[in-house]
């Protein structure tokens, strides 16, 4: 039985929102997603959290990177009473995450913002900062992690809780998607880049730097934030002692995108069978979710 919420948007995307995405590389879409999707995802998310192998503990990763590599983990305190939990590709073996990535309004949102006839699902990610999580999300650019090249690539970030600067809102460097640069992927809780990666070093950015054009949004469940894959972004710690910060990101690509194998970036199984320059076409591991 299929109990997923329906795939209609609560409202249309406005021309001004499309213009913001194009010029700023990010847009906040308040009140656009049926709240039933949030209840649906919260249930699915708790099952993944309860599974001991469901998510990576990035708080633990940060401790190991500090102890073993001497990295400067981006943390507001030496002690984190919460945990930063993260995972990718849940849609591949979890029906609820597959329903959200493929049959919710998200593919339509990606198609409209990217002005793309076709939309393919690249991956999904869970990003949970439990109350008292000291680790920040290091500033990064998604494109450096993706084995893709092209203009129409984006991430849709869906908050499952109210999120603000106390609990770790995401911070974006306005218009940074226009730099024409690909930045090396990093460890997500530290600025150091992943081994054997290629590209530019990501600039050092402090979340509260008033000289830079940093933007953040207070969000509620039912809102979406969509950013271009080349937009630089990071996120704060969760300073609250009682409020969770649960979010799901789904990453899509569209017309004209080709594969580009980026050394050192995390590979997926089907990347073994593609070469740089091959066009993205529908594949069970990167399915067409909108258009034809």
Ligand X SMILES: O=C(O)CCC(=O)C(=O)O
What are the residues binding ligand X (CB under 6 A)? 125, 127, 137, 142, 155, 157, 170, 233, 235, 247, 249
Q: How far is the CB of 3 from ligand X (least distance, A)?
A: 27
Choice between 13 and 247, CB closer to ligand X:
247
Q: Which is nearer to ligand X, 44 or 235 (CB)?
A: 235
- Nearest distance from C-beta of residue 259 to ligand X, angstroms: 20
Question: Least CB distance from residue 86 to ligand X, whole Å?
Answer: 8
Q: Is the dihedral of CA 184, 187, 190, 193 positive or negative?
A: negative
Burial class (CB in 10 A: 0-12, 13-18, 19+), 178: middle
Shortest Cβ 42–ligand X spacing (Å): 16
Please name which of 171, 160, 166 lies closest in space to residue 133, comparing C-alpha atoms: 166
Q: Which secondary-structure segment (H or E) carries 155? A: strand 153-159
Bridge partners, residue 135, by sequence = 75
* Cβ nearer to ligand X, comparing 238 with 277: 238
DSSP code for 5: P
- The nearest distance, CB 275 to ligand X, in angstroms, is 26
Residue nearer to ligand X on the CB measure, 48 or 272 = 48
Query: CA 223 → CA 80, 96, 157, 158, 184, distances in Å?
Result: 28, 19, 9, 7, 30
Closer residue to ligand X, CB minimum distance, 27 or 127: 127
Q: Which is nearer to ligand X, 116 or 169 (CB)?
A: 169
- In the bound complex, what is the minimum distance in angstroms from residue 184's beta carbon to ligand X? 15
Nearer to ligand X, 200 or 273 (CB): 200
Report the residue number, 104 or 137, with the smaller CB distance to ligand X: 137
Tokens 């680790």 belong to residue: 135
Cβ-based neighbour number of residue 230 at 10 Å = 21
The torsion defined by the Cα of 127, 213, 225 and 117, in degrees rounded to 10, comes to -120
Q: How far is CA 7 from the centre of its chain?
A: 21
Q: Is residue 29 within a helix (H) or strand (E), and if so which, with residue range?
A: strand 26-29
Q: What angle do CA 251, 252, 255 make, to 5 degrees?
A: 160
Burial class (CB in 10 A: 0-12, 13-18, 19+), 72: exposed
Task: State in angstroms the smallest separation of the CB of 233 from ligand X.
Answer: 6
Smallest gap from residue 175 Cβ to ligand X (A): 17
User: DSSP of 266-286, one letter per residue?
Assistant: PP-GGGGG--TTPBP--BTTB
């Amino acid at each position: 039985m299929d109990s997923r919420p329906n795939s209609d948007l609560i409202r249309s995307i406005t021309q001004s929102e499309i213009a913001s995405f194009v010029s700023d590389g990010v847009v906040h879409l308040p009140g656009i997603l049926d709240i039933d999707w949030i209840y649906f995802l919260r249930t699915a998310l708790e099952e993944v959290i309860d599974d001991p192998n469901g998510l990576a503990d990035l708080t633990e990763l940060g401790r190991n990177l500090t102890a073993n590599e001497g990295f400067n983990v981006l943390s507001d305190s030496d002690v984190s009473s919460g945990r930063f939990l993260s995972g990718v590709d849940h849609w591949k073996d979890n029906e609820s995450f597959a329903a959200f990535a493929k049959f919710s309004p998200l593919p339509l949102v990606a198609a409209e913002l990217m002005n793309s006839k076709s939309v393919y699902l690249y991956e999904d990610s869970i990003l949970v900062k439990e109350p008292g999580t000291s680790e920040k999300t290091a500033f990064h650019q998604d494109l450096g992690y993706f084995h893709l090249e092209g203009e129409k690539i984006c991430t849709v970030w869906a908050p499952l809780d109210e999120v603000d600067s106390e609990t770790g809102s995401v911070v974006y460097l306005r218009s940074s998607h226009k730099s024409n640069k690909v930045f090396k992927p990093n460890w997500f809780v530290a600025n150091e880049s992943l081994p054997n990666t290629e590209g530019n070093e990501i600039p050092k950015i402090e979340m509260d730097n008033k000289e830079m054009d940093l933007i953040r949004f207070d969000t509620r469940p039912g809102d979406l934030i969509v950013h271009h894959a080349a937009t630089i972004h990071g996120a704060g710690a969760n300073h609250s002692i009682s409020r969770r910060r649960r979010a799901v990101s789904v990453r899509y690509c569209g017309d004209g995108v080709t594969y580009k194998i980026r050394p050192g970036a995390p590979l997926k199984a089907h990347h073994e069978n593609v070469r740089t320059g091959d066009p993205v076409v529908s594949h069970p591991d990167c399915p067409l979710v909108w258009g034809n």
